[in-house]
Chain A
Amino acid sequence: MEFNAHKPIYLQICDQLYGQILSGDLKADDRLLSVRDLGIELGVNPNTIMRSYETMTAAGIIYNKRGIGYFVAENAKELVLNEMKNEFINNELPQVIKKMKLLGITPEEFLKLAN
């Protein structure tokens, strides 16, 4: 996995799993790789993986069965969509708007392109 330069690694690991949830590679009640195994695969400190899993657990996207592991939640897909939508609106869209202003692209022009 190639990490991007500007986003915290633990969030990039979340994104990777979100992608798998959206594509259907990970389905409700599927078990995730253990913290350790994902750490080995990515060559990343287990603390970082733990933080990704904690973040996803707090968002209700995955759940922890004590002693067994982490599993994909029933409504994970919906939650991931919401999560990614919010992220797009809060983080990516402002960049796009900033660039549009810089380049003098009007909302009308944008709408035409978007349609």
Chain B
Amino acid sequence: MIEIKNLDFGYKYQPVFKNISLNFEKGNIYGLLGENGVGKTTLLKLISGLQKPTAGECLVDEVAPFKRLPETLQKNFFISEDFAIPEGTPINNIRELAPFYPNCNEAQFMELCKEMEVDPTHKFSELSFGQQKKCLIATALALNTDYLLLDEPTNGLDIPSKTLFRQVIAKHANENRTIIISTHQVKDVENLIDPIIILDHDEVLLKATFRAITDKLYFDYGTEKDDTALYSEMIPGGYVNVTRNPEGVDSKVSVEILFNTVMKNKETIKQLFG
């Protein structure tokens, strides 16, 4: 489990988090959303031990990742959005990583590369950005870490690769693994992520499963604008109106519309889900 308790963090001239608390339980594929600059990547860096909290705690299985103990580091893999391209070939890369990750499985890596349709015997520098990324995703999954942090994983992937990405993540998710996907490309992972976390400057606005979201909010796709709605947005063919859902009627969550609803009704949402 990842426990973030009363955590403060800031860069030199820029405070990022003030007193945030948030847990990540195992067995879930979390979607981490938030506007530019709210600290999504920073949060992933704190969990990976790349940054140190200014105050409060960030614990991974009860150990502070910033201590950078081997037993903590071997449990976690982070693909950052601006990853450094490894030297040599993906296959050499995973062999170099293997000694640090006890559950690394090279056969599984080869299988993943086949599924993702990339050739791991070519040098990273000879692969396109999308292919590099797919090799890294294959690597990350084959290391079989308990924690997998992915920052904008679908950026740069072509359309078929996005489908493959969803399939390999669904395949490699399990009860012992915690996967956190930070993204703006909500449509790419809309049906994959659950629960959803929406971060704002200094606070967590929402952490809820799809089920909890549809229990509390109703997404009405109609032809007219509802002026009493928490949020309405024009879409081709009409409006989506998001209202409270006292009768518990089922509806389909559009994550983009949920996000806009949350940003426009911060206090109401915190109360509703708090």
Contact = CB atoms under 8 A, between A and B. Distances in A.
Contacts of B210: 45, 47-48
Contact of B191 (A9, A36, A41, A51): A9
Contact of B170 (A9, A11, A44, A51): A44
Interface residues of B, number: 23
Contact of A43 (B192, B250, B251, B253): B192
Nearest to A45: B194
A7 interface: yes
Interface string B187-199: 0000111100000
The secondary-structure label for the interface of chain A is helix
B29 interface: yes
Contacts of B29: 45
Interface residues of A, number: 19
B252 interface: yes
Given A44-B170, A51-B211, A11 B250 contact: yes
B191 A8 contact: no
The secondary-structure label for the interface of chain B is mixed
Contacts of B170: 36, 39-40, 42-46
Nearest to B169: A43
A8 B192 contact: no
B154 to A, nearest CB: 11
Contacts of A5: 221, 252, 254
B166 interface: yes
A90 B221 CA distance: 16
Q: Which of A9, A41, A46, A51 has its CB near the most chain B CB atoms (within 10 A)? A: A46
13 contacts: A6-B252, A8-B214, A8-B250, A8-B252, A9-B252, A36-B171, A39-B170, A40-B170, A41-B167, A42-B191, A43-B191, A45-B29, A45-B170
Interface of B: 29, 163, 165-167, 169-171, 173, 191-194, 209-211, 214, 221, 250-254
Given A8-B250, A9-B252, 6 more contacts: A5-B252, A6-B221, A6-B251, A9-B191, A36-B170, A45-B193
